[in-house]
């Protein structure tokens, strides 16, 4: 299985020159760039797990599940809960009529897990805290938080985010959190990975 966190770091690092060229006031363009970098790894991740990738749950996928992506500004599926969300859905491959016995909900396309939740925030400390706390409250195997700062402020901002994790009583609950800070003055990312128990 691929090391998703490592691959996401490489994808984000590849976007650093574009982010630097866009400048700190291009929030919408920067958000699109970092989420393009993340979604580019989704199909490869699904393949590494031996599951399907896409939005058509009627087509049988290996392993009877399919990974699909919701993202801000994305097509065909827009934002759902987070800027970007990778959902794992049940995929029976039948004619679309198979149901769960008690609820009678259709099995095709039924969400069974949130694999990845990602948020990005640029130049707004108040929104940065709100988005980060939203990630902590949400449940996903992998979480990604992207923001910007300068080299002289990175230690303080990372310590502040880690204090939020420690203060959140359930902690990361077996999840993995990638915190990626784009350093404006250096034009590159600084990454930190947090696990349950940090």
Q: What pLDDT does 16 receive? A: 97
pLDDT value of residue 179: 96
List the chain residues with pLDDT less than 70: 1, 55-63, 73-78, 92-97, 106-109, 169-171, 197-198
DSSP letters for 17-29: HHHHHH-TT-HHH
In tens, the pLDDT along 113-140 reads 899 999 999 987 778 888 898 898 889 9
Q: What is the pLDDT of residue 73?
A: 65
Say what the pLDDT of residue 105 is.
Answer: 72
pTM of the model: 0.87
CA distance 107 to 115: 18
- Pick the closest to residue 83 from 149, 6, 144, 162 (CA basis): 144
Task: Give the pairing of strands 111-121 and 65-71.
Answer: unpaired
């Amino acid at each position: 299985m691929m090391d998703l966190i490592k691959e996401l770091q490489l994808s984000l690092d590849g976007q650093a020159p574009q982010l630097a060229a866009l400048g700190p006031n291009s929030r919408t363009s920067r958000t699109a760039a970092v989420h393009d970098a993340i979604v580019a790894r989704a199909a490869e991740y699904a393949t590494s797990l031996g599951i399907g990738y896409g939005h058509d749950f009627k087509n049988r996928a290996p392993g009877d599940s399919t990974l699909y992506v919701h993202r801000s500004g994305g097509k065909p599926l827009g934002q759902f809960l987070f800027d970007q969300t990778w959902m794992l859905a049940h995929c029976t491959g039948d004619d679309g009529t198979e149901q769960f016995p008690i609820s009678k909900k259709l099995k095709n396309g039924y969400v069974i897990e949130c694999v990845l939740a990602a948020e990005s925030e640029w130049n707004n400390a108040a929104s940065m805290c709100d988005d980060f706390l939203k990630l902590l409250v949400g449940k996903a195997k992998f979480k990604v938080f992207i923001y910007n700062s300068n080299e002289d402020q990175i230690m303080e901002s990372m310590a502040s985010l880690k204090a939020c994790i420690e203060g959140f009583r359930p902690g990361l609950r077996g999840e993995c959190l990638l915190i990626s800070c784009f350093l404006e003055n250096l034009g590159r990312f600084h990454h930190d990975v947090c696990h349950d128990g940090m």
